[in-house]
Structure 1
Amino acid sequence: MELLSLWIGRHIVVLWASLLILALLGGDLGWRLARRRRLAATGRAGYLALRPRGAAILTAVFGALFALLLWAVWAQTALVRFDAALAQALHGRLPPAFMQALAIVTHLGRPALLAVAGAVVALWLALRRNWRLFVPWCVALGGTAACGEAAKHFVKRTRPFDGHAFVVDTGYSFPSGHVSMSMVFFGMLAYLLLRHLPPRHHRDAVAAAVALVVVVGISRLVLQAHYLSDVLAGYALGACWLVIGVALAELLRRGAQPR
């Protein structure tokens, strides 16, 4: 466990770049498969992006993963010891200039900022009377925020090293609100863009959303604002509510289509 944490600490930049590339390739592959199977949410063509059965399976998988991580942290299992070893291996390893750049990037996932941006998008949808997108948007973002806060106060986990010089965060550490809110906000925003933009821009929207979510998540770990399990739990929680939001939007759209 200690050797693995030290190896990750030494190669964190390479691992970060590799994860970003793999995530972009995975997102592009998913987009291609969806397009080939006529599952992409194109708005004009009316293709279904997510079937109810698939949505139920994905929600159960991500929900179970989040529950497992929550239990592992709350019960102080070996995962907690690995988190601490990895945090120690990362501490003070990267140059200050690089950490300062990450500190700027990580604010893209700031929950308060995303809450304001989410309220603006919700207002825009309400003014357009697009309730079939307004309701899923509010459900996804509100559900993520509520569940994240509930989990934080249940686990009551302190942050690594009780704070960091490059980022100043208050509150509990598990799960990462930056990560979960980024997953839902950028994911749902990409879905809205897929519904409104011409198909030639869909690939770019998916790639941008994937890149932002990955960058924010890894920055929270490298800046040591969170432990690894905090970030993973944020991804699991965000993915769960993202699936719920997209599935609800597709269900409402499908019900509105003429038979």
Structure 2
Amino acid sequence: MRELSGRLITALVSCLILAVVFGYVASSIGNGSIVQFDTTIIHFVQGAEAPWLTEVMKVFTTIGSTKAVIAISAITLGLLLYFRQKAQTILFLIVIGGTAALNLVLKLFFQRARPDLNRLIEISGYSFPSGHTMMATSLYIILAFILWRNARKPGRILYVMSAMFMIGMICISRIYLGVHFPSDIVGGISASTFWLLIATSVYAIFMNKRRTNSHFSIR
């Protein structure tokens, strides 16, 4: 119980920090004070432009697309249902569905236009926060979370590192291809991580309560 309480406190503090970060980025976009930050990073990332690298970045941005997320999610749900992981199935649906809904609401609220400095692919829609970033963050972190809980210790670090790699490359690809500002990325990571912490914290409380009730019923 003490361990769970400690985790919940950590999650609460983290959520507050993420909310502050998101609020700061959003307000900075509104007053224009984040332009220098965005421009500097865009020039740095796009300064590495090369034909082969462009193709690599297109691959990663495709992996973060809606179709890819739906495909990966469908496979994950199929496996979870096959192994009868009902609680984790519900958690996965809440995380992915909630992230998609949150991104849509935030985009419609802020209605930020996409950058036009050096766009290598064409895409429509609003820019802030990045949908690719939010979905990638939620998808790969929740996959790592589920694998962490079900796998043996030797493979756990690999799951986390793989998730971080995929998130990082998808985020960089959006800046490199000229369809997102770096602040869109920061906002997307903050928003999706905020939602992830809420979902996994509720899941932890539910699982702890279920274990406690099971313990008392056995006794």
TM bucket (normalised to shorter chain) is: 0.7 to 0.9
Instruction: Tell me, yes or no, if the aligned pair for 2:114 and 2:126 is still in contact at 8 Å.
Output: yes
RMSD of aligned alpha carbons: 2.5
Instruction: Tell me, yes or no, if the aligned pair for 1:175 and 1:234 is still in contact at 8 Å.
Output: yes
Q: Deviations over 1:206-241 (max 9, x none)?
A: 111111111111221122210010011111112112
Match of 1:57 among 13, 17, 24: 13
1:119/1:102 CA distance change after superposition, 3 Å: same
Aligned residue pair count: 211
Instruction: Tell me, yes or no, if the aligned pair for 2:118 and 2:177 is still in contact at 8 Å.
Output: no
1:150 and 2:105 matched: yes
1:180 CA drift (Å): 0.9
2:15 counterpart letter in structure 1:
T
Instruction: Tell me, yes or no, if the aligned pair for 2:133 and 2:189 is still in contact at 8 Å.
Output: yes
Scaled by the length of structure 1, the TM-score of the pair is 0.72
1:246 CA drift (Å): 2.1
Gaps of 5+ in 2: none
Gaps of 5+ in 1: 1-46
1:181 and 2:158 matched: no
1:218 and 2:172 matched: yes
Instruction: Tell me, yes or no, if the aligned pair for 1:169 and 1:225 is still in contact at 8 Å.
Output: yes
Match of 2:69 among 99, 114, 118: 114
1:200/1:93 CA distance change after superposition, 3 Å: closer
Instruction: Tell me, yes or no, if the aligned pair for 1:69 and 1:233 is still in contact at 8 Å.
Output: yes
1:211/1:87 CA distance change after superposition, 3 Å: closer
Match of 2:201 among 226, 241, 247: 247
1:132 counterpart letter in structure 2:
A
1:112 counterpart letter in structure 2:
K
- 1-side partners of 2:139 and 2:208: how far apart? 23
Match of 1:125 among 62, 80, 102: 80
Instruction: Tell me, yes or no, if the aligned pair for 1:50 and 1:246 is still in contact at 8 Å.
Output: no
1:53 counterpart letter in structure 2:
I
Q: Deviations over 1:28-62 (max 9, x none)?
A: xxxxxxxxxxxxxxxxxxx9697222122212221
Q: What secondary structure does 2:11 align onto?
A: helix
Q: 1:14-93 alignment to 2 at 5 Å? A: 51-73=7-29, 75-84=30-39, 86-87=41-42
1:140/1:96 CA distance change after superposition, 3 Å: same
Q: Deviations over 1:55-86 (max 9, x none)?
A: 2221222122222222222x232103542465
1:169 CA drift (Å): 2.0
Match of 1:99 among 54, 70, 73: 54
